[in-house]
Amino acid sequence: MDILKHLKGEANLIIFTDDFISNNTKIKIKNNHLLFDKGNEFFVFFENYTLKNDFVFEIKNKVKIYLLTSQSKKADYSIRFELKETSELTLFTDFNAKNKTSSKHRLIINLAKNAKLEIMNALVFNGKIDFDLEVNLLGELAEVTIEQLNVGADGSHHIVNQRVNHLAKSTTSKINNWLITQENAKLNYHVTGFIEKGKELSKCHQNNKGIMLSDNSEIAVEPKLLIDEYDVEASHGAAIGQMDELQLYYLMSRGMTESEAKSLIINGYTLPFISLIGNEKIEKILKRQVSRVIRRNS
């Protein structure tokens, strides 16, 4: 599916390619530094971007950003977000590949005092991807919620490192991962929460759920809590397993094919994530990506 076709005509759209930058917004771009100082909804699209560059997105207001990629070539670049004091960022990312390829993507997000971040990451990537997400809670009362949906199939290998560093008092983090594998796919997750000594009253929670749709697929999650302070709240958990055979049998007994039954179950599993996006176009793009992967491998 051509993502750009669905975004063309959209207000506040920025497009990066190897050859040019298209910007129909009032956002200032200088030396790969983007300043978001006015509250609004923005779409940032990387179309087959292969240059090894570092980007900085500076957030000074209440902003919503949809960050989407479409790759058919190897990519390796990083984006750093700087959330200034009392700023709020809602960020949706969709790292997608047109055909089998390999990519490395790094997101580093720094939050100042009273800054708030809600991030929704979608990984429906065809091939191998190394994805690193590091969130640094630098100011008191900084908060982050991370929701991540990862669908792997057709021999894909996704290596994901998530780390939240509580580097100030009274900071809060929540991580929810929704993981699905099929047909020789492997998802390897390293999820770390760190609370520095002296950063009391901080809260750090992780939750990881995974469904393997075939015996030859694999989900491995390593949740870690590194706590150097006593007066905190912290928890982690992982629940990984096969699809419920009784549920599948019931749906097939009602006349569904195995492929249709699996699709229905997966739709129910992914809907909580997709419903968080809040944009019909983006929701439709993601639903088609997930549906295409499940159908292709059923």
- For the chain, the residue count is 298
Strand partners, 51: none
What pLDDT shows up at residue 298?
54
Q: Model-level pTM greater than 0.85?
A: yes
Strand blocks (E) in the chain: 13-16, 21-23, 28-30, 33-36, 41-47, 54-59, 62-71, 75-83, 88-97, 101-111, 116-124, 127-137, 143-152, 157-166, 172-181, 186-195, 203-212, 218-227, 233-235, 238-242
pLDDT in tens, 158-193: 999 999 999 999 999 999 999 999 889 999 999 999
Query: Is 297's pLDDT higher than 70?
Result: no
As a whole number, mean pLDDT of residues 287-298 equals: 74
Q: How much is the mean pLDDT over the chain? A: 91
Pairwise pLDDT comparison (295 vs 63), residue with the higher score: 63
Of 262, 258, 250, the residue nearest 293 (C-alpha):
262
| Pairing label, strands 54-59, 33-36 | parallel
Sketch the domain layout of the chain as residue ranges.
Answer: 3-243
Of 250, 255, 279, the residue nearest 265 (C-alpha):
250
As a whole number, mean pLDDT of residues 137-149 equals: 98
Residue 32, exposed/middle/buried by CB under 10 A (0-12, 13-18, 19+)?
Answer: middle
Beta-carbon count within 10 A of 31 CB: 8
Query: Is 265's pLDDT higher than 90?
Result: no
CA 45 and chain centroid, separation = 15
Pairwise pLDDT comparison (285 vs 119), residue with the higher score: 119
pLDDT in tens, 196-219: 999 999 999 999 999 998 889 999
Query: Is 9's pLDDT higher than 80?
Result: no
As a whole number, mean pLDDT of residues 273-285 equals: 90
